[in-house]
Structures are given as structure tokens and as C-alpha cells.
Structure 1
């Protein structure tokens, strides 16, 4: 998980003054002092309200003055309480059971009937008419969009104010405010505004979003942060069956499967604007599932939403998110079409879900206006790319923003811009910001040069022993058009120095025409992946893992020089050509051999020399990146499909190259969100080598002798256990995200997540290639009788950061040193 919490926490701090006129909080319980979860709490004679949480607690505020509070829940008498003051906290409200209430157990669990329920009758009408509303009804559409992103440090108390971390920055706490959603104190710490023009064509299923202006609180180079937050709060449609947030699929309250997941109660009817609407309250049937609680207002003729509120329950199986709250408002076009006009999204990032824990609010407010329809544009309009980094867009004058904003900043939001200018002069703030940058990027920043990455400093393998590595890169901004990177490494056992150096230059930003050149001399584990490229900067984990099972002596010394050119003619479609020259020899010839017989001379050779020209095509639809320079950061890593095709030709004789051959490789990877059943990750790899080549140039099935769970490897295969010249490999991994464990009482509260995996590979190896490498003494086997396969079961989210996988071999038990069972694990920060 990206270190967004830390980055947001260390960016800067500020204050916001109170605007609300009526604030209430408290707890709703029954006559036995039992909390009543999901009770409806609203200001009387209004549509402003909320739902109590699992513990019966609520907080509600409004900019208007109200004199009464109305509390209701199925099976209990509705209660109206007079509000004598504008602010009334810690209310204790007791509801009395109705004389003709349902069975006591049903009341306590809050279950509602699926039959003869008017709320569900209305829900079915919403399903029937869902596609008759919104921009999907039109062939083409366009509109203006204003987006405001904000971070707030919440739960401000004396211990935080007086902590050493803020010494020298006490002035930021002069004023604080309370959230209208949670009632917690908070300080705004970051603000970004953006104006977009959005175009869409439903007939060809294309959209295009043009950025017209961007402004943020003090940092002009904040594209990574903004892009990452935008991806967290990606666009969604509440009419869809599932809503994806933070890599999780939540069941929408408007889902066709909603009646199996939610309770629905028709509570009210009223005019919203000039439209008569029904109010329906919904809340989960079970705990620990990815669901919401809240309410929505729906029109009585078009069955379109007018307003909806969604709040994730605290028991939901999601990490680092304590609260998540959504509001949407819709307006009417031509008395029939409902279009979204406002979307408000607030999440509370925190280390735990305790009521008093401190965290960071992430807020996104999106406003929509100036809708226009059925204005057709040439399909080329959607395909063409514009200059992705227009300096004018990031330097709009105040007059532009005064006119373009659809919602004026309040006085406290305006102060955020001024505050950061002050904070940037404070040494204490500079220290905090630098620490956050190091932890987030892995590099220590200097003027134009970064030292790192720090996380690859230490390694160990059987050849080098303990290994130390130090490197760096040029870095001025995230939009640098050129970059030089390098590293040096030293192994204490082999007493040898290794290095790598490379340079890149972005010739044209619009087409992303780029050239690169580099050289690397190092020790690595060949065959760490089936589909590979001659990447000068690449290095496999297998050659530097600190702990392994069995011996890790089959390492190769590689001297690789590569020159490449690539271009992106269309977004996320990359074409490249790479010319490489490499020499391969065993890192320790006494432990491992790459010997082969020269087919022309019959001479025994111990070192492979090879020149190769390769053409690559990569397509990554829906990939989102940030930065417009030679390097870009992927902000939705692992959330898009990948198609990769590599065609390489070995050229004999050039620079004393040894072999002529042709190699073709194909990779297709795809993540799938299976609604409420979790997430399936799949990958298919195919490859073939035409021509006779020795062991060092064959396709090695990637074994994994580390104790780390690495996707697209075979955890029970040893390095070089299977070698092929033709292969087909399939990997499947499914994460149920706790759907099974959430139904087991003893495991429910642990929020564990169950994983299953399956891997298989079929490959062949020609007799000619086996004979060519016979002098190496290596036993070359291919899974050509039956596909080799493994399966695994895993438990994730252990203490929120650890997963453990149990692997079982399916066949080929008679292979030398075959492992029938193994355990791997991995640490990671996942939502």
C-alpha cells in the first residue's frame, strides 16, 4: 500500500473555523440499555439525518438551525426530542418497544422482511429504471467538473498539540473545527483544486478528460499525491451492483443482490425540491462484510435517486480505514432525467478503528455542471493525445479560479494556501517532510540527486555471502526529461565489486518517444521469470534473498549492455526495440556450469556471448500513471490488464555472438473483481525458441527457493528444476477478502482473509538443446509428460500486515530434491 497516510500527515497543518449552527451527538439504546444500531436520526421536518453505528452512537450537524430531533427504528416508538441549544453533545436517548412490535429477537437483530416490504418494492422499480437516468441515456455527452481534494489531521487534543513533533509549529493549532460527519476535531493539512472538461461517447464507449486548471496549497510538484488520491477515490456509479474503493468491492445498496445483504425500511416521504420522494433507510444484515449503512431519497415517478448517503460500518473487513462516508445529490433535466450534480467522499485513514484513535481525513468534493448532449465528435478526438504537461494549466491566475469554481472556498480553505508558505520556512516542518519523503520513496533527497533505494542495501546469497549495495539517481522534478541511475555492490564472500549504470532521455513528451542506454555487471538468478526482457536496471529477488531453502548456488555472472528506443503512439500502448549484448558465465564454476559445445567448431566453451535484437509491444488498458517525464509512477498498480509480446532474434557473428535463434514470448495478466466474492488474479504465459541454444539462453521455469510469496513463480520448484524451449504457464490466485471467515463466529472479529491458488506449466525441450548443454553436467528436465501443477491455501490480513501460504505439489514427486510441501509468507500494507 502506498504510504499515503504518512505523506498526508507530514505535508502541512492548518485550522478551520466552525460554520455549523446545530450539532448533536449521543447514543440510542432500548429500555435494557442495549444499543440500537442503525436507528434513523434526523432533524424534524427536514431530510438532514444520519444512522447510528453498531454501538448505537451518532453525530449530526447542519448549517441551519433546528429545534427538534426525531429518532426512529423498526419495532420501536418514534421519539422526538426538543433541542434547546445549538450544540447538544452526549445525548442518551431511550426508545420504547411498540406494543405490537415484532418478535424480540428479530427486533434486536434489526432484520426486515424480504416479502411484503414496500421498501423492496421501490428497490425493484429502481432496478428496472436504472439505465434510464444519467449520461448513459445519451449517445454523446460533455460537462464541466470541479474537483477539490483535501486532507485533514483529525482528533486534535492536548497531547498532540504539546508533542515534540510539532515544536516550533504550535501556531497551526490556534483554531480547530469539528467534522460535520463525525464530530471530531480536525485541521486541514492539504488542499488541491482542479477543473476538467469531460467528453464521452456511449456509442463507441470512449471518454476523455481534459485538465483546464490545477491549483494546490503550496506544492506545484504534487502530481503523484493527487493522482494516487484520485485513484483511491476513483469514479463510481451507485446504480452499479458493486462499488470499488481501496481495491475492495462493496455491495451497493441499489444492487440486485442487495436484498440478501441489506435490511431496507421505508421511513418517510416528502418533497425534495419540487419532486415527491420516498426515503429508505438501509443497513447490513451481517457484520464484517463490505457493506454500507445509510439512506436514500428516490423520486416517485422516474424511480431515480435524488439524494443518497453511504457510510461503511466499522465491522467491515477493510484495513486502515476507520470511517468512509459518501453523499451524492442529483438534479432533474427536462423534468425526467436525473443527473449527478454533487459527490462528496470522506474517509478516515487510521492505524486502528478505536473511537479515539488519531487519523487523517481524505476528502473529495466533486461538482458537475453545464451538461450538453448529443454533440458528436470525431473518434480521433478520443484517440489523440495532447501535451500532458502544460505549465499554464498549473499556473492559472486567481481570476480564472474565481470564475471557474462551482463552489467558493470558505475563509478557512483560503487560509490553507497562505499557511504552507509559512510552514515551508519552519525547520521543524522541513525535517518532518524530508522523513516522510524518504519513507514514501525509499530515497534520500539531495539537490538534484537522490541516494537509494534504501530498501535494497543489504542482501545475501551463497556466492556473494553478505552483499552491500548503494546507488542513486538524478532527480530534479517528477517531470525530468532525462535521468541517470547507477549503483555499486560488493560481496564479502566472493570479494568482487559489481555495478550498473544507465541513462534515459525523453525526446518527445506527447508521443513519449524515449531512448535509453546502460551497462550492468552483476550476479543474478537467471530464470526468475519466464517472460523477460534485457532490462539493465533489473535484478531478481532470488539472487539477494537473505533466507532460502536448499542451496542457492546456480547464479550467473552477467555483463549486459543494452540500447533501446520506445514510443507510446496511444495511451498505454508502448512499442519498443532493444539491442543488447551480453556475456554469461557461472558465478562459481565449481558449483554451477553453463558449459556447451560450439556447434560449428566442436570446441568446449564456458562462457556465452550473445547479441540480440528484440521488439516489444505492451498494452496496459486502464493503467493510471502520474508524472510527465522520463519516468512515471503507476498509481493503480495491479489493477489493470497487461498484454506483452516480445519477439527477439539472436544474431550470430556480431561482436562474436555465438547463436542464431528466434524467440517469441506472450504474457497476459488480468485482475478480476468478482463482486462480493473477492478478487481473482490471473496470468497466462506462452513462449517458444526456434533454433539450438544452450542452457543460459533457454527458458527456465521460475522456481522459488525463498520463503517469500512471489506471484508468477512456483514455490515448490527449485531453481533450474525445469528448463524448456517451449512452454505454456497458467497462474490463478483468488482472495475471498474474508467472505468465508466472516461467517465463522470465532474467526469473524479477526478480519482474516482466505486465499487459494493454482499454478501449472507445460513445457518441452528438444534433444538438440539437451545435447548442446551436455558438458555442463546439469540435468535438464521439462514438464513434457504431464503439466506440472501446484495448489495452495493461504490466510491473509494477519495483524493487518502478514499473509501465510501453504503450498502442495501435485506431481513430479520423483524429481531430484523434490519438495512436496512448503510455506511462504509476505508482509504488506493492504486495504
Structure 2
């Protein structure tokens, strides 16, 4: 399973106690629903402003004039306000659920910018629509209203990020388990997103100078000060958590065609293609010191799509710039766990009468249930000041790293922060720093964290040593039978320089012990699981492996992968002696240098037979030296307890590996050269979703038996593997040269969102295509020669089991549904060719657990 949602759960470790009994949310005292119409034409009115009494607690009617509003307070009136209509007050019954049919009367006043059409409802159209004409003017003038319109831009930036448990009921707050934690709870304005009671658990702040040059393009960020809540690093990776939140809450530029929020790309309301996907309405004209401002409301044409809804305010001074924006998402959007989202952007006039972003605020409330129960609220606000344009910036500013953190930036005093913040911060939010420090000293909290870490990561912490992972304790296969395993690894509590990992396993059918032992020395005095890595590791492993099985993020003896389809009796007993050096750089370039001595023994239905002598080979020995290069621009990742998980972004990842086999060196039997290269990239296609694409190729030089060739990644489990061929059998194809492409496209519900009733399930369409083309040179093909090669494996009935790809590329594709119950992806997979090979399936159903927003 991917760790997308797991990251948030880690940030809420002390919240784990809620599994003992999650309370429901506050019961709403007063709930009013209804429809707003024109009193004469009975036409429904969209975007009518609706408030309780004279408060700012309110909502808007939707595109069809419908609304719903609720409160816990004793308000007895609703105020309805709409441009061109008289203000209407309606008396409501406190503490009851009721439905209103609201009729607004025209006040016979009109604005030049607004055309009111009475009579029969007119179908929405872009043609002859003044709102669409206005948004086209905004789009046409986008370039001159962005920072890139200048030669240089520099400004100061202050960022605050706050995360809290939300919608906490008084009943839940009063539970005995929270008796010692009352100092954590805070109250907020009940009209704000997330509810009245909050339990803040994380805050971070950053103050930086930003420098931008657009001729040529250069940028530099100088971090002057930063601070964040620090959790116990034995359980939570503070830097990884920060990187993940930064990915979810990125800077918002409304002038970009696509805006990244919650790891999804949303089409901007002023994107070039916005009139195709949005409906626009001129809803007000506002007079200000800057002149007339047009209020433009917008909503998705299809409510489930990754689109915003809200209002933008456009200047009418000839710049057609955005002066302010307030928007969120439709309640029917195909977005998981998001109860509500609000984005507010404020712009200020520059000295040249153009506007720059002065403040942005993004707040989102998450929860398992859309409306009830405890949730999680995240808020990111950014303030900008000292905005300067076309001021010459010395080249020395851009020298060195693009991101520079000044010495002492993480140790600024409270006085420094109070004098330099660009925005005010409530005293109760500042208490979060000390509150979390106090919380982590409580024994009950530490016990809770330990239990949650064990449940989520599968390791039980004993201080200097932790036991796990639990999902490998038991598994089975046809050769080993029932298999038990126990192991663990040391932690930084033992040493920040030395790390050890080990396990022992026993198969009750083959009656053999397997074990692993490794020792690692950190060369930069950091945990070997932290970026940037710089360590040397020596290890020995005696264990089994299925040829051609490559798993993503899970151990091969994971219990759930014990269930396999078809004939699955081929296994290798392996002895690995390894020595590896890993070095990562801040620019995300890394290299590895390795030595491996490998002895492999076939088992079960796998037999190595010398093609020349027709004798069985019981042991194959090789010795390898390897160099691997990797570059992943701007890569960020979250460090879990078992592995480090990259946070997928739009930047490509390049891999290049060279391996040399050396005959006679530590018993190696063959000389060979193996070169492999790959590129992975995610392509965001706006409303059409995104594609994950992998292109890969390899070439092996040398005269070799098939076990040393490229054994293509197969999958005989019922789990859908992204980078394996899901209807290919283990060891079905081998090559000494190959090229492959893998395309996995997620439409994010683009089509299903438009089908009535079905759209309520919020399913997401997925299609994939995989192809690999390769072959064997005559010197490595046992059908062409018997000198120095092994016979290809066969089944018990004598049918051939392993083939080359010399005829045509192997191809398979799938169509699937994702987001089933928000966690499951199911694919119908079709194999397109090589259907005459024995024991193959043309069709198959595969499933994958995938938790996403």
C-alpha cells in the first residue's frame, strides 16, 4: 500500500487513541434547506448569499438555487441577499429541521455589467455571455499580470502551516483517556471550517527572501528563519512529514493553467481552457479606491471534476487583473476525505498599477466521513512584503544552491520572530510548540505512540532494537511450505553511526534455515534512512527467491503474496555476499558502488541442465562489480519505518546501472557486462488526469546461461503490480537485450463523473498498457547452440517453460476502476499475445490497495 494517507496518520499519532471509541460530531440544532427563486418568473437563482441574522455565518445557493445551512447557535432569522433583488429576512424555527421556498423580488435596479433575463430558463452558453467575454479578457491579459512580466522580482515571504484535529465534540474531549491532555484543546470561531473545537498538533513557520530573474530564468530562496514542532524521531520523520505537507500545500498561482492542491492538479478558473469546463456568472460590481471591480462567480460544468468553484474579482482598469479570489471545491467533487476547502487570495497594487499577490490562505478539512466525526484540518497561509520589480539582482545572489538556509535559521529567538513575522499569529497557536513538548513527556502518550507505530509500521520498538516487520512473520510457498520468520534492526538509540539488521526464517517443508545479517556504517553521522544518505554496508543473506519476481515496497515473504495463480514451483536458494557504498547529494543526484558474490541453487520445479553435457548443475557462482547512477530533480519523500517512499511529482527520475561479472574473481564462473537504463515520469493532463510512464532498456554482453540474462518481471500473485507483467508467468521470458514501455493512466473520474447515479460512487477510470521487446543472440540461445548455456526450463510433462521474445513484443493491457471504497483498485487485465505458451491466462482480475486523495 502506498503511504499517501499513512503520512497524515503519523502526524496524528497521539490521536490513535480515538480508535477506542470515535464519537460522532455535534448534533446540529437548526438545519434549513430550501430553494431560492425569482418571485415573478419562479426561476431558480444561483449564488444567492444567505446568512444567519446579521452574522457572516452563511452559505450560497448552488447553480440550481438550492441551499443548506445549519448552526448550533440560537439564530432565528435568515438573510437573503442577491444583486438586483430586495434583501429578504425569513424567520426560522430554532432547533428544528425545516425546508423553505424563498421568493426574492426584483428591486428594478440594474447594473451596466449585469444583464438579468426573466422568463423561461435559458440554457447556459458561452456564446454572447458577458461573463465569458470578461474571463477571456482576463486570460488574454494573464502574461502581463504575472511576475514573469518583469525582468526581476524580489520579495520577502512568511509562511505558516498549522494542522489540527477538528470537529472534536465536548463528549469526546471529556473522555477519561484525554484527562491529562486538556491543555491541548483550543476553541475557534464555529463558523470556520473544521468546527468549533480543535486539537492543534503541528505548526511550522518560515521566513525567506525570494529572488527571481526571468532573463534568463533563475531563482534563489534564502531562508532567514524556520521552526516547526519536533516529534520523537524514533517514530516520526519530522523532515519527511514537512516535505509531504509542502507537497500537499504548494504555492497557489491562479494565473497558472493548473493549480496543485492535495497532490492533485485542478484547472484554474482563468486557465486557457477554463470556459470549456467552467460556467461563469457576473454577480456584482464593487466600487473601491482602485475603481470598479467585477465580481465573477464560477462553478464546474460537471460537479465531480477536479475543478474549483467560487468568486474572483476582476479590475476594470484595462489590466483585467485578479484583485481578490475566494474559492473552494464542490461538495460532489471526486476527491477523497476532503470535507471542505477554502482558498483566499489577496492582491495589492504595485507602483506600476499592476497587482501582485500579497497574501494567500488555504484551509482544508479532512475526515473519513464527509459530515460527521472527528477529522483533521490543515491550514497554510503565506504573506508577501517588500515587493520589488525590475531591480538589478547581482549574479552572486544566484550562485550556489537554489535553496540556501542561513546559519542559525532554525535557532532564531522568540524576539526575532515577533519582530519579523509578516502576519500576526494568535497566542494560542504559539502555545502549540510548548504543548507538544509537554505532551511527548507524558508516559501515556509515549505508550500510545509506540502502539500506533507497531500497528502502522509493523515494528515494535525496544529502544536500541526494534522487532519486525510483522507482515513477514508467517508465509508459505510450494517449496518451503509453512514458513516462519523473526527479525529486526537497531535504531539510532543504539548508535547514529552503526546499524545492524537481521532475521532468521525456517521452512517446515524443506526443513532449511534462512537468515540475513547486515552491518552499516553511516559516513555523515546521520541515520542511514535520512536524506542525504552516505553509508557503507556489508551483508550476507541465505534465502529463497522466485526468479523474475520484483516487488514494490513489500517483502517477498509477505503473507498476502503467498497466494499465487497457476503452477508456482520454481525457486532459488541464494547465498549473497554484498558490499555496497551509497552516496546522495543535495541536488538529488546519487550513486552506488557495489560488490556481490552470488551462489544460486535451483529448487522445486526449476532445474539447471548443461546443454552440452546434459548434466544437472547444482550451483551457479558469479561475482559482480556494479555502479548505479540516479537523478531525481526536486524529489521529496516520506521516510517510513520500513522504507523510504518517494512523493511522486511531475519531474522525471533517471536511472543508469552498469554491472560487470568477473570470471575467476572470488569463484565467479562468467565474464559479462550488463547495462540497464530507465526513465520514470508522471504527466499531468489537467482534466484528463495523469499518466505514469516508464521507459526502460537493457543490454547484456557475454555468452551466458539463461539465469544470468534479463529475467523479465512477472507476477503470478493476485495483486496488481505496477512495474511487473501481471499475466506473465515467472521465468516465462528471458532476453540479453530488451526495450520496454509501461503506461498507467488515471482519468480521475473524468467520464464516470458525468454519469448520473454512478457519479455518486466517485469511481476513477484507469487504463494501462505494457509492452516489452527483446531477444537472444545465437550464442545465448540453447535452440541455436549448446556451448556454455543451459537448457530452458520445462514443465513436468516436457512442455517448454521459458522462451525468448524474438518473435514479437509481449503486450498486455488493462482497464480498471480505482477509488472503490476509497482504497481499492481492481483491474481487468488482458494478455494480447504469446497465448499458445502453456499455463498462460488471456484474462485476469487483479486488485491493489491504493489510498489516495
Which TM-score band applies after superposition, normalised by the shorter structure? 0.7 to 0.9
Other-structure match for 1:361: 377
Report how far residue 653 of structure 1 moved.
Answer: 0.6
| In the alignment, structure 1 residue 456 sits paired with structure 2 residue 472 | yes
Three-state SS of the structure 2 residue aligned to 1:290 is coil
- TM-aligned CA distance change 1:53 to 1:497, over 3 Å: farther
Structure 1 distance, partners of 2:684, 2:731, is 34
Contact residue 459 and residue 641 of structure 2 kept, 8 A: no
The 5 A counterparts of 1:118-517 are 118-163=130-175, 165-170=177-182, 172-173=184-185, 175=187, 177-181=189-193, 184-217=196-229, 219=231, 222-272=238-288, 274-301=290-317, 302-353=319-370, 355-373=371-389, 374-376=391-393, 378=395, 381=398, 384=401, 392-476=408-492, 480=496, 483-508=499-524, 513-517=534-538
Report how far residue 713 of structure 1 moved.
Answer: 1.2
Report how far residue 424 of structure 1 moved.
Answer: 2.9
Deviations for 1:342-387, whole angstroms, at most 9, x for unmatched residues? Answer: 111111111021x333311111111122334444454894654889
TM-score w.r.t. structure 1 length? 0.86
Structure 1 distance, partners of 2:501, 2:378, is 34
Contact residue 818 and residue 826 of structure 2 kept, 8 A: yes
Which deviates more, 752-761 or 489-498? 489-498
Deviations for 1:571-627, whole angstroms, at most 9, x for unmatched residues? Answer: 1111222122111111x2x5212344799xx98642111111112111112311467
Aligned residue pair count: 796
| In the alignment, structure 1 residue 522 sits paired with structure 2 residue 536 | no
Contact residue 575 and residue 598 of structure 2 kept, 8 A: yes
Other-structure match for 2:636: 624
Contact residue 613 and residue 648 of structure 1 kept, 8 A: yes
| In the alignment, structure 1 residue 758 sits paired with structure 2 residue 769 | yes
Contact residue 598 and residue 604 of structure 1 kept, 8 A: no
Contact residue 806 and residue 822 of structure 1 kept, 8 A: yes
Three-state SS of the structure 2 residue aligned to 1:414 is helix
State which of 607, 615, 618 in structure 2 corresponds to 1:606.
618
Other-structure match for 2:842: 820
Three-state SS of the structure 1 residue aligned to 2:562 is coil
Structure 2 distance, partners of 1:467, 1:487, is 13
Report how far residue 773 of structure 1 moved.
Answer: 3.6
Report how far residue 683 of structure 1 moved.
Answer: 0.9
- TM-aligned CA distance change 1:7 to 1:632, over 3 Å: closer
Other-structure match for 2:679: 668
Structure 2 distance, partners of 1:189, 1:335, is 43
State which of 729, 748, 757 in structure 2 corresponds to 1:746.
757
State which of 582, 585, 594 in structure 1 corresponds to 2:608.
594
Structure 2 distance, partners of 1:517, 1:283, is 59
Contact residue 524 and residue 539 of structure 1 kept, 8 A: no
State which of 63, 78, 81 in structure 2 corresponds to 1:71.
81
Deviations for 1:791-818, whole angstroms, at most 9, x for unmatched residues? Answer: 2111111111111111111111111212
Deviations for 1:311-356, whole angstroms, at most 9, x for unmatched residues? Answer: 1111000111111111111112213332211111111111021x33
- TM-aligned CA distance change 1:142 to 1:433, over 3 Å: farther
Structure 2 distance, partners of 1:620, 1:174, is 41
- TM-aligned CA distance change 1:749 to 1:139, over 3 Å: same
Contact residue 320 and residue 351 of structure 1 kept, 8 A: yes
Deviations for 1:707-733, whole angstroms, at most 9, x for unmatched residues? Answer: 000012111111111111111111111
Contact residue 457 and residue 642 of structure 2 kept, 8 A: no
Three-state SS of the structure 2 residue aligned to 1:545 is helix
- TM-aligned CA distance change 1:542 to 1:431, over 3 Å: closer
| In the alignment, structure 1 residue 117 sits paired with structure 2 residue 129 | yes
| In the alignment, structure 1 residue 782 sits paired with structure 2 residue 791 | no
Other-structure match for 1:689: 700
- TM-aligned CA distance change 1:306 to 1:176, over 3 Å: closer
The 5 A counterparts of 1:580-591 are 580-586=596-602, 588=603, 590-591=604-605
Other-structure match for 1:29: 35
TM-score w.r.t. structure 2 length? 0.84
Report how far residue 60 of structure 1 moved.
Answer: 11
Report how far residue 776 of structure 1 moved.
Answer: 6.1
Contact residue 626 and residue 660 of structure 2 kept, 8 A: yes
Contact residue 692 and residue 768 of structure 1 kept, 8 A: yes
Structure 1 distance, partners of 2:488, 2:410, is 29
Report how far residue 42 of structure 1 moved.
Answer: 7.9
Other-structure match for 2:825: 803
Report how far residue 675 of structure 1 moved.
Answer: 0.8
State which of 565, 571, 578 in structure 2 corresponds to 1:555.
571
Which deviates more, 280-289 or 311-320? 280-289
Three-state SS of the structure 1 residue aligned to 2:523 is strand
Other-structure match for 1:21: none
Structure 2 distance, partners of 1:51, 1:579, is 66
Contact residue 50 and residue 78 of structure 2 kept, 8 A: no
Three-state SS of the structure 1 residue aligned to 2:666 is helix
Which deviates more, 24-33 or 782-791? 24-33
Gaps of 5+ in 1: 14-23, 62-66
Structure 1 distance, partners of 2:672, 2:341, is 56
Three-state SS of the structure 1 residue aligned to 2:133 is helix
Contact residue 449 and residue 475 of structure 1 kept, 8 A: yes
Structure 1 distance, partners of 2:844, 2:99, is 56
Contact residue 255 and residue 268 of structure 2 kept, 8 A: yes
Gaps of 5+ in 2: 17-29, 109-115, 795-799
Contact residue 480 and residue 511 of structure 2 kept, 8 A: yes
Contact residue 112 and residue 264 of structure 1 kept, 8 A: no
Structure 2 distance, partners of 1:191, 1:172, is 13
| In the alignment, structure 1 residue 576 sits paired with structure 2 residue 576 | no
Structure 2 distance, partners of 1:143, 1:687, is 48
State which of 728, 736, 740 in structure 1 corresponds to 2:747.
736
Report how far residue 667 of structure 1 moved.
Answer: 0.9
Structure 2 distance, partners of 1:393, 1:665, is 42
Structure 2 distance, partners of 1:670, 1:286, is 29
Deviations for 1:672-728, whole angstroms, at most 9, x for unmatched residues? Answer: 111100111111111111111112211012121100000121111111111111111
Other-structure match for 1:64: none
Contact residue 676 and residue 696 of structure 2 kept, 8 A: yes
Deviations for 1:517-538, whole angstroms, at most 9, x for unmatched residues? Answer: 22222111232259x9xxxx99
Which deviates more, 215-224 or 506-515? 506-515
- TM-aligned CA distance change 1:25 to 1:488, over 3 Å: same
Structure 1 distance, partners of 2:35, 2:378, is 31
Three-state SS of the structure 2 residue aligned to 1:30 is strand
Deviations for 1:397-424, whole angstroms, at most 9, x for unmatched residues? Answer: 2122112211222122123233334433
Structure 2 distance, partners of 1:453, 1:462, is 23
- TM-aligned CA distance change 1:438 to 1:371, over 3 Å: farther
Three-state SS of the structure 2 residue aligned to 1:745 is coil
Structure 1 distance, partners of 2:71, 2:419, is 33
Other-structure match for 1:94: 102
Which deviates more, 723-732 or 173-182? 173-182
